[in-house]
Amino acid sequence: MFLRVIGRPLLAKVKQTTGIVGLDVVPNAREVLIGLYGKTLQEIQAVPEDEGYRKAVESFTRHRLKVCQEEEDWEQIEKRLGCGQVEELIEEAQDELKLIAKMIEWDPWGVPDDYECEVIENDAPVPKHVPLHRPGPLPEEFYKTLEAISSGGSAQKVETTDKASQVTE
């Protein structure tokens, strides 16, 4: 009993460095992450339920919180999440909290139904403040491959400039 209560924390691996300049080791990273993820789930409640941003934030935050609650070792948290070091996750969670506050302030989902915006038709002159981006045509091979795939044949030969390749469904 004594070893479980007192000895386990003493036997835990201590991270010496993150190996990232300017990113210090956080000895109680698990507890910090649990607190940040809890606060994130609380703050995101101010965003409307049906918004994609809220759904995405809640989804990955709940997953990360669950992993942090299930694992006690920082190495296992990093391994299971596969999103970098716990110190990086802390910075990311802090940034997400800042973004949530900005999103609430900006209210991008609050566009009225009767809002009208300027529509620029394809042939209309583009205002000078709008960057002009017209992508070039796709390579001929793209269209040949697309045609071969969409034609529904069991096996079609597709010619490319280099060599013929086999496309099968």
Model confidence band, residue 9 (pLDDT cutoffs 50, 70, 90): low
Evaluate if residue 132 carries a pLDDT over 80.
Answer: no
Q: To the nearest 5 percent, what fractions of the chain are helix, strand and coil?
A: 50, 5, 40
Residues 6+ apart with CB under 8 A from 60: none
Model confidence band, residue 158 (pLDDT cutoffs 50, 70, 90): very low
Q: pLDDT tens, 12-30?
A: 678 999 999 999 999 999 9
Please state the pTM of the whole predicted model: 0.63
Residue 167: strand pairing partners:
156
Strand ranges in the chain using DSSP code E only, listed in sequence order: 155-159, 164-168
Q: How far is CA 32 from CA 51, 86, 92, 123, 146, in A?
A: 27, 10, 12, 55, 50
